[in-house]
Amino acid sequence: MLPPKKRLKGAFGRWEFMFRILVVFERTHRHCLVPPNRRADSLGQWVAQQRVEYQAGRLSRQRIRRLERLGFDFAWAPKQAASNKRDALWARRFAELAAYKKQHGHCDVPDRHPENQKLGNWVHSQRWLRKTGGLKPERMLRLDQLGFAWSNQLRPGYFPKSMRHREEFFNRQWDSHFLKLSRFKERHGYCRVSQVDPALRDLAVWVITQRALRRRGRLSNDRRQRLDTLGFEWKSSHPAWERFLAQLVNFHRRFGHFDVPAHRPGNRTLANWVKIQRQRRYDGQLAADRVARLNQAGFVWTSIYPPGSSKRSFREFMTLSDRWWDIHFEELKKFHRKHGHCWIPQTTPALRSLERWTRFQRAAWKRGLLPEDRRRRLEELDFGKPHYNPAWDNHFAELLDYKSRFGDCDVPSRWPENPVLSGWVGTQRYDRKAGRLSRERIDRLNEIGFVWHSLRLPHGHRRATPV
């Protein structure tokens, strides 16, 4: 209630009137931090004038003592009004948070708390400010001392009555997801839940959360041990690889084998993926964890189908008459006597059947399905162990055919009869110079007298002397 307006004459009477207004302001707000105001007869303007006169030494000691007893701050400036107001509001919200913790046992105030919605919004703002780096260190320290949780653990609309109820709720939720993961492991044999299936998206997010909590050191030891006993994979793999593995497991469950036929349009991508996994493991480039996961699923690393066939298996081909095998073997012996090797080129139409037969023998040799008597007969012709890159071997066979015709391995550039072979020869020279050609291939090319520096001029004629 403001004091009665009396007509006090002079500067003394006006000072007393404004001082009485300041007393009423202090009793109402519990401080003397009056917001600034440009009006000449306002309290804010009068308070600012007292600070100016105090700093200039024109304010009497009696007035200074009266203002100090009231709690007047002479060092306070108008520019600090907004910040001091925010500090007072922050202190009031902090006190409300302390009272909330004393009542509920935790600081997780819901965003839509029915009793104090402003406190829930303030708690959310403190977490956001800390995440963006806008929270002052002293405020962060006070919140840490109070036991403030920087990540909200409450789902929308849930208001726990106490800390015990909160822990019970999250324990039940964790056990429910763990039970779902155990059933998933019984059905599929692994714990990598894919996010592609909408029905498993909630479980997949929970699995990702467990990995993140363990990486940050926030997963309890008993929960980590429970997941370890289940065979939980703590390192996630590529989502596409996981998706193809799940498709392969489903294919095996339906058909009983892992050789996906590529001639069907719906299986073409999966068949290529299976082929790549076998090729990379044969080359030693497939990661150990992926090899282990495929072995765990019962994957067969050797295909039951020979190259170029998707209808008959190796064992079905082995039951064919020996006469059919002997006919191709005699053709291979004639080719070996003429050319000195057993690498049949694919570009010769007359030898296409023989080339396919030799490709099949190498595949059966590599998979351990070739009978011992046939293996010994092929070894007599230096048939050799098959190599893992059929394309390179085919070009090597074409180079041997070129040498048998022309007496050297210096294929002209852009040879019109086989431009692919001339480009392949140049690639071998460049790869050897760059250090990318393996020692095994270099030795094989040296054995046939390969020319690493071409003796031909750009137009195709030979140079007089080697370079």
All structural domains of the chain with their residue ranges: 10-76, 82-146, 163-229, 239-296, 307-386, 392-467
Three-class SS of residue 218?
coil
> What's the pLDDT at 134?
82
> What's the pLDDT at 467?
36
Q: Report yes or no: 203 and 180 within 8 Å, Cβ to Cβ.
A: yes
> What's the pLDDT at 198?
67
Of 365, 367, 401, residue with least CA distance to 383: 365
Where are the strands (E) in 217-304, listed by range?
none
For the chain, which residues score pLDDT lower than 50? 1-8, 155-163, 307-308, 310-312, 386-388, 459-467
> What's the pLDDT at 438?
81
> What's the pLDDT at 338?
80
Beta bridge partners of 296: none
Phi/psi for 367 (5° steps) reads -90, 0
Q: How far apart are CA 173 and CA 178, in angstroms?
A: 9
Kindly report, residue by residue over 251-287, the tens digit of the pLDDT: 888 777 777 877 777 778 888 888 888 877 777 778 7
> What's the pLDDT at 311?
46
Model-level pTM? 0.28
